[in-house]
A = this chain, B = another copy of it.
Amino acid sequence: MTSPTATLLISCPDQRGLVAKFANFIYSNGGNIIHADQHTDFAAGLFLTRIEWQLTGFNLPRELIAPAFNAIAQPLQAQWELHFSDTVPRIAIWVSQQDHCLLDLIWRNRAKEFTAEIPLIISNHPHLREMAEQFGIDYHYLPITKENKIEQESKQLELLQQYKIDLVVLAKYMQILSADFITKFPQIINIHHSFLPAFVGANPYHKAFERGVKIIGATAHYVTSDLDAGPIIEQDVVRVSHRDEVEDLIRKGKDLERVVLARAVRLHLQNRVLVYRNRTVVFE
């Protein structure tokens, strides 16, 4: 399976023949489909699909795939994305003081659990510079105050451009991004340390302790301007009991956070997540 692949993520109004039309496009050009999955949202009248095929032996040169597919997609009013598996996406990881998600993502990247380059870490604290240097990643310390937030966000945007970043991962970055920033750079995944929509906002572990829940969770989601309300990619939970103090919830939560965030990042990088109407279809 080392042949490079192309992947189409498509959503379009439901109608007869969509599976056949898309499959024929690949087949008639000599492609070998290695993954095809679909979902129909009957309430929304939408057909959503992911098709991945091997490029070896495919007759269309890469640069012609998009225009050729567009000729099919336009009459169907389809929205679509095309990705190539040998394009290595570039990730910026944003952190505050906690290192567990950062270290975990770096370790997984080195262990080739997903394919990406991580050239940039941005933080509102100086604490994790040493870890960044240990792994040879540039670290930019941009402290945030109420006064300088807009200014710092424009610097952050510049950095994302400069480093040609495709995806921002908020790996326990404890600051809220402005709606303006999100509009300008919408590809952002966040890890929230609760089972959303329970305990939105700050200090979810304290709130969970206070409420006396028997299970805590973590949620990875795309960031939208509506705080903690973006499309959910992945969630997981762990049991707790009355014996768990807040610090135990935090400790147990860390294990959840890093696993849930890593799964979400991996699914995104494999182009398995299709977002529509503030929801996700995850083609696993």
Contact = CB atoms under 8 A, between A and B. Distances in A.
Interface of A: 1, 16-21, 23-24, 26-28, 30-40, 42, 99-100, 103, 107, 111, 113, 134, 195-199, 211-215, 217, 231-237, 239, 241-243, 245, 251, 254-255, 259, 278-282, 284
Contact of A212 (B35, B100, B231, B284): B231
B235 A213 contact: yes
A27 B20 contact: yes
Contacts of A242: 39, 279-282
Nearest to A233: B214
B20 A24 contact: yes
B215 A195 contact: yes
Nearest to A232: B212
A180 to B, nearest CB: 25
A123 B103 CA distance: 23
A265 to B, nearest CB: 14
A215 to B, nearest CB: 5
B113 A278 contact: no
Nearest to A235: B214
A35 B214 CA distance: 21
Contacts of A21: 27
A34 to B, nearest CB: 6
A95 to B, nearest CB: 14
Contacts of A38: 33, 35-37
B251 A212 contact: no
B16 A27 contact: yes
Nearest to A215: B235
A214 B197 contact: no
A279 B211 CA distance: 7
